[in-house]
């Protein structure tokens, strides 16, 4: 295998990192829709680099480390910045807790970044997470946050998304899900057989239905579906 071929997965990982950096910039500028788009793009590259590494058999220690660093930026820092910028946007005087005149509530957003780092560190040393997950994967968490905040103009969500205390509770809940011991299924197919992939096929089928019915609004619903399917025990079909 030549040197260029071996570097293809790492190049794709760098595209993940690049997309995550742009998502951060978009979030700081208050463009939450574009920030969400770049997180989706980062998640696509995150899926693609693993596939490329498997197909090309181009595994390396530097690739593993680079992947974790890229994931921390794209799925840890970027969603933290999105929530920080959103909390700065919606905070009002009744909900403001200030120190030396500086509101501290928006900084709670970076709990997502901290717990994402803990999640990624645990994942790197946990040999049980090769075909399934323990705790909410960072890409799913980031996609949920980005997609939800990008829908802030939706009439049905305005009441919740403009409530600063709802966002704070959501941050705490998601932080716990990142590091909890809840088993969650992955979308890695070892075969196409129904018997061994019932959970995956059911999830993909329901996800397609949601996308047809609700379009972009379906994205956070799909992540909730993923969590609920893990909670109710459909993982036994893995």
Please compute the mean of the pLDDT values over residues 9-26 and round it to a whole number.
94
Cα separation of 29 and 9, whole Å?
31
Choices 1.10.150.120, 3.40.50.300, 1.20.120.1760, 2.70.150.10: CATH for 3-181: 1.20.120.1760
Contact indicator for 177, 135 with CB cutoff of 8 Å: yes
DSSP 172: H
Q: Per-residue pLDDT averaged across 119-131, rounded?
A: 76
Hey, is 233 helix, strand or coil?
A: coil
Q: Could you read off the pLDDT of 206-231 as tens digits, one per residue?
A: 999 999 999 888 999 999 999 998 88
Torsion over CA of 137, 66, 78 and 29, rounded to 10 degrees? -160
Q: What is the DSSP letter of 215?
A: G
Residue span(s) of the chain under CATH 1.20.120.1760 come to 3-181
Distances, alpha carbon 141 to alpha carbons 33, 58, 73, in Å: 16, 28, 13
pLDDT of residue 82: 97
Q: Which residues of 165-197 are buried (b: 16+ CB within 10 A; e: fewer)?
A: eebbebbeebbebbbeeebbbeeeeeeeeeeeb
Q: Dihedral of the CA atoms 187, 178, 95, 148 (nearest 10)? A: -10
CA angle centred on 225, ends 222 and 231, rounded to 5°: 150
**Which pLDDT band, with edges at 50, 70 and 90, does 96 fall under?**
low
Confidence band of 234 (pLDDT split at 50, 70, 90): very low
Q: Each residue of 138-190: pLDDT tens digit?
A: 999 999 999 999 998 887 888 899 999 999 999 999 999 999 988 888 777 66
Q: Higher-confidence residue: 26 or 4?
A: 26
Region 49-67: mean pLDDT is: 78
Q: Does the pLDDT of residue 80 top 50, yes or no?
A: yes
pLDDT at 35: 97
Quote the pTM value: 0.88
DSSP H/E element including 184: strand 183-185
Whether residue 57 is predicted with pLDDT greater than 90 in this model: the reply is: no
pLDDT mean across residues, the chain:
85
Mean pLDDT throughout 72-88?
A: 96
Top-confidence residue, 86 or 198: 86
The answer to whether 207 touches 225, Cβ cutoff 8 Å, is yes
């Amino acid at each position: 295998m030549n040197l260029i071929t071996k570097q293809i997965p790492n190049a794709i990982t760098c595209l993940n990192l690049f997309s995550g950096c742009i998502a951060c910039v978009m979030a700081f500028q208050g463009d939450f829709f574009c920030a969400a788009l770049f997180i989706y793009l980062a998640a696509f590259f995150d899926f693609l680099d693993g596939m490329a590494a498997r197909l090309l058999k181009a595994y390396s220690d530097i690739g593993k480390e680079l992947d974790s660093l890229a994931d921390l930026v794209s799925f840890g820092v970027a969603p933290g910045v999105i929530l920080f910028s959103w909390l700065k946007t919606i905070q009002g005087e009744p909900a403001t807790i200030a120190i030396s005149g500086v509101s501290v509530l928006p900084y709670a957003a970076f709990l997502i970044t901290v717990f994402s780092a803990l999640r990624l560190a645990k994942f790197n040393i946990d040999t049980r997470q090769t075909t399934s997950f323990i705790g909410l994967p960072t890409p799913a968490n980031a996609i949920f946050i980005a997609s939800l905040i990008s829908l802030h103009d939706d009439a049905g969500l305005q009441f919740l998304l403009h409530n600063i205390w709802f966002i704070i509770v959501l941050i705490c809940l998601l932080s716990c899900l990142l590091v909890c011991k809840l088993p969650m299924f992955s979308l890695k197919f070892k075969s196409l057989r129904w018997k061994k992939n019932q959970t995956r096929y059911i999830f993909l089928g329901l996800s397609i239905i949601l996308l047809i019915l609700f379009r972009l609004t379906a994205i956070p619903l799909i992540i909730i579906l993923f969590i609920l399917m893990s909670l109710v025990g459909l993982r036994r079909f893995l």
